Chain A
């Protein structure tokens, strides 16, 4: 465990990419193959199943530290991270341990069907032989969520350094739903397995938001323009009469979308389509919330299928007749995609329509009408671009519409987690309904660290009431909130639900009384809902 704890500390101590890759590569070169595999799993957010509840962990930590539970809870709120809070309050260790990362993980996993007494004994015994950093990591293994600023890309680069394998090959082999139980380090990285090959998706190509004047992109004729749909980016794979649907989060979601089942038999030799999974009815997309509700359900009911049927809005063709098509220029891929979609002739597979235009100016005017098409703006793709992997600048751009905005009053504040622990960063906002303030949205992004600090000071000095970690504050601060869409909601007191609300800016120039009202919000609902 020491090696892994050291790695964690090294990664935590730097923000420099090269230093992180160096630390990781060094670790991968040294660690045992079991530890390597588990480290890769943890950094890919594949943590072992939780075998001990956090309630039990809190109770035992407080008891070991000889603290009343309420005091531990208060401390935890300040730290903002349970694994760290536990590591900080525990008494000094009595010994040390030479067990490896994998050994500790196996110990944690072996607790699955044990009694609480056995769990307790195992966990407290572990705490007594681990140092602070090791305890923190150990607790993280139980509670999950290794956020240490290591992206998949970064890990892939480090593995390439340590193994000498090609980065792109590693990226592709790491995709999908492997678990450390079903594979080994050697098999995962060095072996090509036929059944994996069948279901394996391609890494998605992602675009950055356009941050420059579109005219600087050259002639508009060089670009393919599509609408930017608001659903779930997905990849539909048809190989040897099998169908696989992957979401962008690298989750295999085939069984969530029976609408695509009939595609399985359509192309015997293999076709892979990149597109957007959208709830769709009578020629129009439905609100994203409906899709979210459908995915959230454990069992897919007949009613859900009727309320929110889905389609795949096809963007791109990555494989045709079993051949990797990604290095063909977009124009060629599009031509083939059109042919494929027409040939299948299935209601659940639609071709993403192109937006024709004469010049950038006209295109910009059209873009502003996106909301009427239930879209978020445009996607700009260079016609001669190959299909790259990951987020890359240059050939593909998101050109989104400006968000909707509203001025709202801060009502409640809560401390953040992780990097933002100890700062009040999560706020609840309200608008006026007559003389009352009605909460309607929560937001926690969009401000600078400096502003968060300033607001934290305000919150501490203007707390009216406390509800656990939540503080009711004097309704005084006004923020301009931005959001992508607005929907009617029966679950919220205000009657509306916003899509992706965030703080655009702090309106220091406005008094609380100058914030918008529920009438304004309902007006937006009528216009855009």
Chain B
């Protein structure tokens, strides 16, 4: 019997009778992070990292959730579970599962560059690695984040000098905080959309420092806004909410912005390539460092990625999950509005 089975409810550890990031209702669910395609509604018990706990509670309401520390060993029926930082968003974790000498790691979503708020990803030795591969193609290589933030700061400063309001779009959980943590907040005032403001408050309770922001409520005038930065989820920019802003420059911050076609289709003035997922090099380095001989690819460009890993002598397999990868760009618009559809960016 394999340590982890792929069942219709989700990733299942039979020896412990628990699930990891299940998409159907189960009794006990271990959760890698707070995004809605990983932390779903309706389980009897949730176990996640301490930092994830307030996020999940905020999104799912009154649930039974237990927090564990990174590196703390949790034993269920003799199976040992340990959460390690995944570097994806605040509180995100990879979950190490050990039973009778066999080790599997479920990556959840991860990125290999340290963003300062999501913990430092480091690969964990294992026999079998279950990995995402959202950006599992060699066209997706990220430049160091400081270069991206330099560009964002420059864009904002230039807009400010021209009296233009800078609107930066990113998912309310994860991207919004990463932007806030990386941006030069001394340039000017930063306003946030309600969804971002609420999430920020939750994340601050987890002890993560973020620069001061102002909630962009109805009372804020066009004049006050001029030259400032507004951080908002994608969906909001199509609503009437944005109509009153006067002269604006609209920018998107996402890994999908790597491709010119996606940048132009997005309809934004600028596209900054900033992702909370590992790039091609990151995925490859991480997989090599785990020493795993068997690799399951769960979401992203899975077929191509599997073929690539096979050609490197690994035993790679594609497993169908309900985690979103390839479609997240398309979905993020709707999910930031309704929060019903899954998204990981």
Contact = CB atoms under 8 A, between A and B. Distances in A.
Interface of A: 12-15, 65, 67-68, 70-72, 74-75, 78-81, 84-85, 88-89, 416-423, 449, 453, 456-457, 460
B138 A418 contact: no
B153 to A, nearest CB: 17
A423 B139 contact: no
Interface stretch (B21-29, B61-69, B75-83, B262-270): B262-270
B241 interface: no
B304 interface: yes
Contacts of A14: 269
Which are the 6 A-B pairs with shortest beta-carbon distances?
Answer: A421-B261, A88-B139, A419-B264, A75-B139, A89-B138, A74-B304
A13 B262 CA distance: 12
A149 to B, nearest CB: 9
A71 B261 contact: no
Given A67-B138, A417-B261, 16 more contacts: A12-B263, A15-B269, A68-B311, A72-B138, A78-B137, A78-B139, A78-B259, A84-B259, A88-B138, A89-B138, A416-B261, A418-B264, A419-B265, A420-B261, A422-B261, A457-B330
B265 A71 contact: no
Interface of B: 137-141, 258-265, 267, 269-270, 301, 304, 307-308, 311, 326-327, 330
Nearest to B140: A88
Given A14-B269, A449-B265, A457-B327, A422 B259 contact: yes
A88 B261 contact: no
Contacts of B311: 68
Nearest to B155: A13
A417 B264 CA distance: 12
B260 A422 contact: no
24 contacts: A67-B138, A68-B311, A71-B137, A71-B304, A72-B138, A75-B137, A75-B138, A78-B137, A78-B139, A78-B301, A79-B261, A80-B261, A88-B140, A88-B258, A416-B261, A417-B261, A418-B264, A419-B261, A420-B265, A421-B259, A422-B259, A422-B262, A423-B265, A453-B330
Contacts of A420: 261, 265
B18 to A, nearest CB: 29
B304 A81 contact: no
Contacts of B267: 15
Given A14-B269, A457-B330, A460-B326, A65 B138 contact: yes
Given A14-B269, A457-B330, A81 B261 contact: yes
Nearest to A19: B269
A13 B304 contact: no
Contacts of B263: 12
A457 to B, nearest CB: 6
A505 to B, nearest CB: 21
A256 to B, nearest CB: 36
Contacts of B258: 88
Nearest to B331: A457
Contacts of B137: 71, 74-75, 78
Contacts of B308: 68, 71
Nearest to B137: A75
Nearest to B264: A419
Contacts of A13: 269-270
B141 A88 contact: yes
A89 B137 CA distance: 9
Contact of B327 (A65, A416, A417, A460): A460
A81 B330 CA distance: 21
A133 B269 CA distance: 17
A419 B258 CA distance: 13
Contacts of B269: 13-15
A367 to B, nearest CB: 37
Contacts of B301: 78
Nearest to B329: A422
Contacts of A70: 307
Nearest to A67: B138
A139 to B, nearest CB: 12
Nearest to B311: A68
A174 to B, nearest CB: 26
A488 B33 CA distance: 60
B22 to A, nearest CB: 21
Given A71-B308, A449-B265, A84 B260 contact: yes
A418 B263 CA distance: 10
Contacts of A65: 138
A71 B139 contact: no
A421 B270 contact: no
A431 B98 CA distance: 56
A101 B260 CA distance: 22
A456 B330 contact: yes
A462 to B, nearest CB: 14
Contacts of B262: 421-422
A181 B264 CA distance: 34
Nearest to A86: B139
Nearest to A149: B264
A460 B326 CA distance: 10
A419 B263 CA distance: 8
Contacts of B307: 70-71
A12 B261 contact: no
Nearest to B256: A422
